[in-house]
Amino acid sequence: MAVETLDTVGHAWPRADARDKVRGAALYLEDVRISGMLYGRVYRSPHPHARILRVDTSRAEALSGVIGIVTGAELPFLHGESLVDEPFLARDKVRYVGEAVAVVAALDQQTADEAVRLIDVEFEELPAVYDALTASQPGAPIVHEQLGSYRHAPGITPIAATNVCNHFTLRKGDVDAAFPSCDRIFEDTFSTPMQNHCVLEPHGAICQFTEDGRITVWTHNDSPYRARKEIADAFGVQMSDVRIISAPNIGGNFGGKGGLKAEAFAAAIAWKLRGRPVRVVFSRDEEFASSIGRHASQTRMKTGVMNNGTIVAREVEVYLDSGAYAEKGPTVARFCGVSAAGPYTIPNVKVNVYCVYTNKTTSGAMRGYGGPQACWAYESQMDMIARALALDPVELRLRQIYRDGDQHVTGQRLASSGVSICVEKVAKAMQWRDRERKPDTGIGIACMERAVKTPFGSGAFLKINEDGSADIMSSSTEVGQGIDTALRQIAAEELGVPMERIRKAAPDTAFTAYDASTTSSRSIFHMGNAVRLAAADAKAQLKTLAAAHGLDASTNIAEILRVAYGSSGTVLGRGYFYPQTEDERSEYYTRTMAFWLEGAAGAEVHVDRETGRVTVLKIWGAFDAGKAINPLNCEGQIEGGIAMGLGFAVGEEITFKNGIVLNTSFLGYSVPLAPDVPPIEPIIVEHPHPDGPFGAKGMAETTNVPVPPAIANAIEDAVGVRIRHLPITPEKILDALRRQAR
Amino acid sequence: MAVETLDTVGHAWPRADARDKVRGAALYLEDVRISGMLYGRVYRSPHPHARILRVDTSRAEALSGVIGIVTGAELPFLHGESLVDEPFLARDKVRYVGEAVAVVAALDQQTADEAVRLIDVEFEELPAVYDALTASQPGAPIVHEQLGSYRHAPGITPIAATNVCNHFTLRKGDVDAAFPSCDRIFEDTFSTPMQNHCVLEPHGAICQFTEDGRITVWTHNDSPYRARKEIADAFGVQMSDVRIISAPNIGGNFGGKGGLKAEAFAAAIAWKLRGRPVRVVFSRDEEFASSIGRHASQTRMKTGVMNNGTIVAREVEVYLDSGAYAEKGPTVARFCGVSAAGPYTIPNVKVNVYCVYTNKTTSGAMRGYGGPQACWAYESQMDMIARALALDPVELRLRQIYRDGDQHVTGQRLASSGVSICVEKVAKAMQWRDRERKPDTGIGIACMERAVKTPFGSGAFLKINEDGSADIMSSSTEVGQGIDTALRQIAAEELGVPMERIRKAAPDTAFTAYDASTTSSRSIFHMGNAVRLAAADAKAQLKTLAAAHGLDASTNIAEILRVAYGSSGTVLGRGYFYPQTEDERSEYYTRTMAFWLEGAAGAEVHVDRETGRVTVLKIWGAFDAGKAINPLNCEGQIEGGIAMGLGFAVGEEITFKNGIVLNTSFLGYSVPLAPDVPPIEPIIVEHPHPDGPFGAKGMAETTNVPVPPAIANAIEDAVGVRIRHLPITPEKILDALRRQAR
């Protein structure tokens, strides 16, 4: 194969989808229309917790243009990724305001919307619970009486007859024995609110059940294979009977497009109206009140340290508010739990994370996935310890931070750990020691680690075309993160052809190979390896073909195919990556993680003592990419994540009253706009991972995680007040300043 | 792997698509809508041969709702499979009535239709030629002045400065030396008319050019990879930049949906309106006048025989009317040519086939592909010889018919030849010797052979799902012939799982592997082998996995995957079949054919001497499937092909006047309807092919081929008249009876 001078791995390729998106030519799910397609709309519960006594759809059915209505009574199926607890439509009772009770399908959207208003449901209200801590106490109203009987994945520990849908535990050493020997004990509580993904494209799906037993779903789910499994399991069909076709482009994800959202409702009504495709797209109201958000959390952190700053013992108790259903809460709890003690070597650790049902909008996966809640606590308290012991916060961190070869609190030996480098790079970039301090201005730093979803595999096909160009076939979804571009770079590098000769289309479970999910920043590592292996497989076959036809090793691919097949043949590569685990112990969470996401952020803030307003002046972010396959993508991920972390720090919060979401539009929910984002300095750390493709590992998902504590730490540095409860509003600053003054 | 009692290969599975088609749930190209999609319509030439002096689109452009118009002057590209001669839109001149000159895109179809009527083109008429024989003579108007400079595939011999776009020759022995030594010389001319495919679904395509350099075409082309190559070549882009997405179902093909039809026009206007998807669907008028049909033919056949019936020498000269462009004509000529002497061992053979341009609607691929024209001549003359020598027609055939191990006239040693068995089976079924003869009733028989498209490869992927179900990924298109069902049976057999666990979706060049085409009845053999190899590859991997995890060989697939990967993994198979050729001689046509299609038909007719009306009472058809993977499919193919052969025999004919098609609807074109089709007795012959999957080879395409001569032979048996020119109309019968009476 001719090795040309190639700009492949390591080159800052702009994303292939960028120009089409800017110019309006990019197709989304919204653009997919099928003749004969019906339009669906969901009837949603007005009550947080109520028994359904009667559903009367007769007036709605009588409306001209209504083709059919499906109610929960007709659908005995449940779905759910780690815990199968969610009906496609509520059956006996509703568990939150906004829960789906029925789906109408009509000839047009207006008729469907109108029909929903004609549905008459008789409810009997039940006592409700709105807070994870309260919900976990004995005597609280029970959200799921059947919790003990639900099917669930291994490694999940629901507690029957309670609201705890997963109780995660982690133990190392003996905290109870260690605490008395410590010089100082720090015990604090921290909390974070529910955050919304705020993606531009709302959830949607089109579904058709055909007579040949196939279920086709056109959607933008982030993980086609997982969605397929949930639907196949629910409807009791074979996986090959369910086809998930990804839209050509996806308008944002951040974890919100996993699980079954609009897919469940489109499937429910399509199942009833056998043969007719039905489309269900959420309104912005539904996005805020009936989709998912980030788990609100309450954390109690007790840390025992010696006067020199050595942390001897740490006990962490986290309550995650799951809302009405488990969704991905049980595994969010696990990911929160394994990192809850922070990226530090601590001899004694005790972690309990409770994922608790309440009568509120369900929470689920969102960028960071348990990381932001954990990091907010451990990195806030780290600065509180430093301040109390008069130690430098950076030094305190670096003293006990994980490094290559350290044993993680889970027991895993860390092959590669870049978190210390990230802290050092941020400190250096922000001139940690020497930065000039203006009045009411401060700087803060925070670092983080989080596990990647493990152990789950990824497969890929790669086919060589007759002209030597190639197509990657991968179920990784391009949700705006740039995975398509990065995978093309990896394949181009491995094949030794220019990047422009490689394409990748959106996934389709009829074609693209199994992939666990496009989540957890796992794709560049898992799918990157699978694609690299598929390309290597194809390359090896080409080499054999070339040799068999007496061709020189430098012959280009098209010429090899021409000689071998007369341009009527191809070469097909396959690659499969399943991370090898160091141990296979029975407890699910202790399995070795394929890699750890690591990074650090620094912030400089100014606090207006009159108004309490915090102005973030600059944010630095260093994240370990192992190897930046595409530095432009990595920088974009750092910038985007930091903006999201900023929003979580200083403004975003879904507010509830009696279980009702009060802010269901961008008017009442303050996501940062472009002018709100300060200068950002992205720093890519390349500490190679031995198992990653070209040393790469994921870094994108958690670039938001250390931002809120870095800002809170900077605020304390600026004006000496400590905010423990996100978001950091002017009211909280003013209140703290007032208390400080007293 | 557990081997269950499986109904896989050999089982008469109804086609999976059948119920959805009957109940209206099956999606076709017509059902694909994309928001923002424009509607196209083609302006077509009113002249058979004319110079384009001026194209004025200003009035059309001014029409509200018209978004754009593209004319040939803007598009310097040509396309064409074997000879690249066809502009996307006519440039300097038009060559037939109905040739595309411009394409309008508008917001709706009505506006596009109206705009076309506002286009004003100034033509200068040129002398035209309407007949292949005339067109091949010196001094005839030249349809393509540039013929000598067109790019073309190897094995095609265009003659510059003439209208002959391919001159095919085949020589064996020395006919000139042999004819004088023969007892009798038979020299006859035969002809066949242009036939239309008459598929229910007209040609259509949707095309979009996006900013990332990709060209996406939603279509129902029978051969996605060939269409991709033609578009990539024409627009000068890489193959991976062109994506052909097959519609979920295709409403009939018979060869008509190959090449670029509506695709060319959708691409031309989409190329101009970068970013906007545009849809072009033909009207039924366009289907008849501006699509393609079967080549009208004129054949001179000179045969020298001994008095005992032994054929010593045969000289065949065939003129195929290509119409305005070559399309697949050059290879139709080749396929006609290699079989023109019939399936008989003849020591001296000389064949010339001329594919000739005329100023008429282009002809191209149609079921039989050169076979019906050839067979009409050689099987008509065979009975004329038998009658003249007072020999039994069946005995005469069987005396010199090909059998296993014989050397074909092309030089190929025939590994497997079932044609003699087909003749014997038909003769037995119709009680050839003992059939009771009623007045004016007769029986006839005919047999045929035709080569399969060779040498061209097929590739397939097969992926195993986590639950042990599997998806076949193949570029074979399901055009109603049942290939999806048959491939699923092959994969199920090889994997040892029930048929219901295997699915196959419609092709998509972004995913499904290279396949030369879904034509020529090649799929069951080539793709069947590829799918079988892909399944075997997956099975071997599963076996290795099972052994590595200490599992019993009988463990089912899902369990192997669960143990190996915790349900988070898969196994990916790939298979590639490229037929091995016995020789690699330089002349293209002499390459060994992967297999030969073989069969025989018998007919019983009654002739009404008063009206000339022929009533076909029954038709028998025996065709060699090697092994019937799905007997129900094979029977359906025999029945469908016989109905099509019946239409060609007794009624179908595209009629022209001055290059204008007179019958552009089903009112004027008499395709047989259900009540017109007599009882058919399908006979499946299973003479295993050594290289076929489970012994199978193709049989579907040529089941129409022997029907017309069988009917003509039966007519002579009934009333003693010989019809040499199709279709056999009552007028021709009456005329012949009148001449017989004189």
Token match 């009035």: residue? B59
Partner A, chain B 452-491, Cβ-Cβ below 8 Å: 455-457, 459, 461, 463, 465-467, 469-471, 473
Cross-chain residue pair B212–A510, CB shorter than 8 Å = no
Residue B601 to residue B622: CA distance in whole angstroms: 6
DSSP string, A180-245: GG-SEEEEEEEEE---B---SSPPEEEEEE-TTS-EEEEE--S-HHHHHHHHHHHHT--GGGEEEE
ipTM confidence score: 0.93
Cross-chain residue pair A569–B457, CB shorter than 8 Å = yes
Cβ neighbourhood burial of B561 (10 Å; 0-12, 13-18, 19+)? buried
B118: closest CA of chain A, how far (Å): 29
pLDDT of residue B5: 56
Residue range B164-186, pLDDT digits in tens? 999 999 999 999 999 999 999 99
B329: closest CA of chain A, how far (Å): 20
- Output the CA–CA distances (angstroms, integers) from residue A154 to A159, A588, B22, B46, B566, in the order listed: 14, 7, 45, 73, 10
Cross-chain residue pair B469–A211, CB shorter than 8 Å = no
A734: closest CA of chain B, how far (Å): 51
Residue A528 to residue A689: CA distance in whole angstroms: 13
Any CB–CB contact under 8 A between A565 and chain B?
yes
pLDDT of residue B581: 60
Given CA atoms A725, A731, A735, A736 in this order, what sign does their dihedral have? positive
Amino acid at A393: P
Residue range B74-132, pLDDT digits in tens? 998 899 988 999 999 999 999 999 999 999 999 999 999 999 999 999 999 999 999 99
A641: closest CA of chain B, how far (Å): 26
Residue range B503-533, pLDDT digits in tens? 999 999 999 999 999 999 999 999 999 999 9
Cross-chain residue pair B210–A25, CB shorter than 8 Å = yes
pLDDT of residue A588: 41
Please give the residue of chain B at the shortest CA–CA distance from A19.
B211
Amino acid at B338: V
Residue range B677-693: mean pLDDT, rounded: 97
B632: closest CA of chain A, how far (Å): 18
- Output the CA–CA distances (angstroms, integers) from residue B292 to B98, B197, B325, B667, in the order listed: 11, 8, 10, 19
A516 chain-B contacts, CB cut-off 8 A: 568
DSSP state of B157: -
Residue range B12-36, pLDDT digits in tens? 999 988 999 998 889 999 999 999 9
Residue range B246-284, pLDDT digits in tens? 999 999 999 999 999 999 999 999 999 999 999 999 999
What is the rounded average pLDDT for all residues in chain B?
A: 95
A73 phi-psi bin (left φ>0, alpha ψ -120 to 50, beta other): alpha
A500 chain-B contacts, CB cut-off 8 A: 213, 238
B502 chain-A contacts, CB cut-off 8 A: 240
Interface A-B, measured as beta-carbon pairs within 8 A, has a size of 204
Check residues B234 and A579 and name the one with the higher pLDDT: B234
B710: closest CA of chain A, how far (Å): 37
pLDDT of residue A581: 60
Task: Supply B293's token pair.
Answer: 């049909």
H or E segment to which residue B282 belongs = none
With 60 as the cut, is the pLDDT of residue B583 above it? Answer: no
Cross-chain residue pair B566–A27, CB shorter than 8 Å = no
Any CB–CB contact under 8 A between B511 and chain A?
yes
B277 chain-A contacts, CB cut-off 8 A: 27
B511 chain-A contacts, CB cut-off 8 A: 461, 471, 473, 505, 508, 510-512
Residue B606 to residue B608: CA distance in whole angstroms: 7
Partner B, chain A 171-210, Cβ-Cβ below 8 Å: 208, 210
User: Three-class SS string for A631-698?
Assistant: HHHHHHHHHHHHHHHHHHHHCCCCCEECCEECCCCCCCCCCCCHHHCCCEEEEEECCCCCCCHHHCCC
Split at pLDDT 50, 70, 90, the class of B472 is very high
Tell me which of B199-203, B211-215, B483-487 is least confident.
Answer: B211-215
With 90 as the cut, is the pLDDT of residue B591 above it? Answer: no
- Cβ-count burial A230-257 (b if 16+ within 10 Å, e if not): bbbbbbebbbbbbbbbbbbbbbbbbbbb
B31 chain-A contacts, CB cut-off 8 A: 34-36
Any CB–CB contact under 8 A between A516 and chain B?
yes
Any CB–CB contact under 8 A between B24 and chain A?
yes
A586: closest CA of chain B, how far (Å): 13
Residue range A183-198, pLDDT digits in tens? 999 999 999 999 999 9
Under 8 Å CB-to-CB from A601, ≥6 apart: which residues?
A426, A445, A446, A447, A619, A620, A621, A622, A642, A645, A706, A707, A710
Of A473, A505, A572, the CB nearest to B576: A572
Cross-chain residue pair B463–A459, CB shorter than 8 Å = yes
Cross-chain residue pair B572–A214, CB shorter than 8 Å = no
Mutate to test the interface with B, among A487, A568, A585, A586 (most CBs of B within 10 A): A568
Residue range A449-482, pLDDT digits in tens? 999 998 889 999 999 999 999 999 999 999 999 9
Any CB–CB contact under 8 A between B214 and chain A?
yes
DSSP string, A498-526: -GGGEEEPPPBTTTSPPBS-S-TT-HHHH
Q: Where are the alpha helices (DSSP H) in A414-462?
A: 419-429
Q: Which stretches in chain A have pLDDT values below 70?
A: 1-5, 580-591
Cross-chain residue pair B569–A500, CB shorter than 8 Å = no
pLDDT of residue A565: 87
Residue A168 to residue A351: CA distance in whole angstroms: 8
A579: closest CA of chain B, how far (Å): 10
pLDDT of residue A566: 83
Task: Supply B436's token pair.
Answer: 């009771």
Cross-chain residue pair B467–A239, CB shorter than 8 Å = yes
Split at pLDDT 50, 70, 90, the class of B437 is confident
Any CB–CB contact under 8 A between A27 and chain B?
yes
β-bridge mates for residue A323, sequence order: A357
pLDDT of residue B733: 98
Of A19, A32, A469, the CB nearest to B34: A32
Any CB–CB contact under 8 A between B505 and chain A?
yes
Of B459, B473, B572, the CB nearest to A576: B572
Any CB–CB contact under 8 A between B337 and chain A?
no
A570 chain-B contacts, CB cut-off 8 A: 457, 459, 513-514, 576
pTM, entire model: 0.95
Under 8 Å CB-to-CB from B296, ≥6 apart: which residues?
B132, B191, B192, B193, B194, B320, B321, B363
Of B23, B27, B568, the CB nearest to A516: B568
Cross-chain residue pair A502–B240, CB shorter than 8 Å = yes
Of A457, A501, A512, the CB nearest to B569: A457
Of A35, A510, A566, the CB nearest to B30: A35
Split at pLDDT 50, 70, 90, the class of B63 is very high
Judged by DSSP in three states, A456 sits in: coil
Any CB–CB contact under 8 A between A239 and chain B?
yes
